[in-house]
Every structure is written in C-alpha cells, then in structure tokens.
Structure 1
C-alpha cells in the first residue's frame, strides 16, 4: 500500500468516526422529539448518505445501481447479499424508513447504539439462533405493519467476495406470513470494501435490484420455494456481475451463521 493510499484510508476512517460521533450525539438529544419517519431521516438516512459520499470522494468507492424500477411503492422484505459495511450504509440511505436485523450488543454502544435504538431495529441475540428467528418473525411483522422496510441479510454474516453463503429462511418466512413479496438485491461491494482489514479498493460497486418475488401459496413449502428462488436469482446475478465463479453453488459456500 502506498503512503498516499494509507493517508486516504486514515482520513476516511477519521471522518467517518468523527461524523458518526457528532451526529449520534446530536441525535440522542434531538431525535426523541421527532415523529418516527422524520427521526429515521434525521438519524440514519442523513448520516448513511454522508458515509456513502465519504467512501466515494475520499477512497474512490463509487456505485452504479440497476433495477431501481423494481422497487415497489409499499415496503416489503429486502433480501440482500452481505459482503461489507458499505451495503448497510447504502441500503439504509436508499430505503426509508428501514428496520434491519442487527446484533443486540450494538445497542449498548454509547451514543451510536442509543441512536440506533430509536430507529426500531430488530436486535437479536446471535448466540441463540432459535430465539433470534422467533424475534425476527414477531418484530419483523410488526415493523412491516408500521410501514417499515425490513432488511434481512439471509447469509447471516458477511461473506467475502467470490463466495456465497446459504440463505436462511427467516426473511422468506417473514414475507410469506405477512403476505408480502421479497425484493432480492445482489452487489459486489466486497471487492472494494473487503470483509477483513482496513484497506479500501477504488472502483464502482455494482448493485442489482431484482424483480419482486411472491410466494406461491403458504406454509413451509411455499417459504422454502420462495427462499430457493431468491437465492437462485441472487446467485445468478452475482455471477453476471463477475462476483461469483460460474460453478459456484450453495454447497461450496461459506457456512451459514445465525
């Protein structure tokens, strides 16, 4: 890594941390007095937009989106690949208000966690997968009824670029039980914002928003079929953008967690 690149990465993280601390501190005192939708825009959407912008101008991570026309007018369940932190920022800025599944421990982080707690997240205990699935089903349904998009990373953890993890059925189950479709999303953010390390690679993240997928019926079979269909679409989309080898399948993927 060149000295110039190291300086750019240091500057990026310094600005990201500084803006996060300042914005979360302000939000803790301002957000409680705002209606929920305005609170989400103030606390999360505004700062996540800044984070994506910083990644673009400081370390050269741009993005290109295809399939915007597939986004429905009403909220539904989003099933997205999870490769890095970048897509969390991007999707939180694109969809509002959005409730996402996150580790319960994050809510205990001073200021940052306190601000996040006001945005109706689905904070799960990953050490107890069965309880986490029940919580996703219950709170996810409540969030959808409240007019929130629900973001689910069905792989359960960040999977490095070039691999794909098995999809948990939690998101598909939530959609079927709420009689709503799923919106699959593929991307290659892991190429530019790797899962491990501090390095950032300049380039253009390709984000592909797929067609809405509705369940064919109800019950466990419908859930499994919808989940498999979403996985198949995401897997093919990842191959199309060069983020997966042509012979990649779920059986060669990293193991599912959570």
Structure 2
C-alpha cells in the first residue's frame, strides 16, 4: 500500500479518524516552515496537507491567504516547495498531500510537475480548482507516476457528479463541509453525517472532512463519522500569532496540534 492508504488503514485499525494537518509551505519563511511542519508531525498528525502558496488562492479564507502571502514575500517558489518536502522526508514517512491550484501545475508542465512532486516525496495531489471532468491530463500523469489524487465534494455538489468524483480520486475524498472558503468557525457545519454517508455510496476510499474545524471538540465531533479530519486555519493562526517569536513558534504549534490530534482519537 502507498503511504496514504497505510495511514488510513492504521487509523481504521486503531478505531479513530486520521488527523490531517494543513500548513502553508514556506510560511513565514523556509526554515520556520520546516520546523513548523516537523512540529505538527511530532504532535501526531497522520497526514500533512501542504499548501503551495499562490497569488490567487480562491478557496482560502483570510488566514490562509495571508499565510500564502507571507510565504511568497519570503521567496517561496515551486522549487523551494519541493525542497521542503525533501527535507521533511529526511525524518518522516507521514503522507504529504500538495494542496494547490491548477495554474501552478499547468504552468510548470503537468507531467513535469507531477514527476517532480513524486520524486521529492509527495504522495497526493489536491488541485482545488480542477474538476475531474477537466482533469484527464493530470489524472494520466498521476497514474503514470503513482501520485494519488484527491478530489473535493462540497455541500452543493449534485448527486449526479459523485460517481465521477469517486472514480477520479485515488487517495481520498475531501468533503468541504461548508460553502465558501477556509477559516475558523464557532461550530461545525450541519449534515456532515448525511453527506459522508452519501459520498460513501460512490467510493471505497476514505472520506476526510475539512473547512471550519478548529477546536478539539469539533475534531471529536467530526471524527465520529469521518475517516479523517482536516484542520488548517487553527494551526496557521498559531504561526501568525508568533511571527515575532519564530524560535519559540514550533513548540507552541506542537502544543496546539497535539490538543487537536487528541480529538481524533
């Protein structure tokens, strides 16, 4: 099994949900980002979702927009993003999924991008603005280089599209539990159990739920019905709040991540 399948198989055996941690690559600078990623992995994250900074992140709320801007301002590039993955692979075999946008894939050449990502140690590709109906070139490249694909289902996704999405994904399905963009919310969205059940009618892959999940109690609530729980903004906020204390940032992030990870048990 690939690393993504192994991670979800392990958490299934342990009768818990996988904790998927999102951080933006290069936020707030390369070295601090590397330390931050290692901190959430040390805290027990089962999958690392690594945002590739982009100037027009359409699916991201203000927290993650600012993270991408910090990374870009600090000189983060596609090549440096791959270097970050290679550095993480020196000490960890936790699955890494690139959270990216199609222009970044296309502009580098689809097959070149996929091959480079795989060679660096990336396990999966989630291209936010690429629907499976238009993803043939990406799907072919990912199949050729054994890079798993992750596709999104939203609350507004019609039932008629679920078979197509389920067929295109090879890593897991990401259920975006809210309309709109990423960000911290006071409570989890309604109807998550029903949505996850509906998705499972069309795929045997794990279903991870994200967008708006930001506390241990919220993680625990979603973990009861999903195979994985994705938390991003709550972690990225720790980085934002410690920009003047970059040496101490990883320790603070590890504490927050460990508390959230505990909710998935």
* TM-score bucket of the superposed structures, by smaller chain: 0.3 to 0.5
Q: TM-score, normalised by structure 1?
A: 0.34
**Structure label with greater radius of gyration:** 1
**How high is the TM-score relative to the length of structure 2?**
0.33
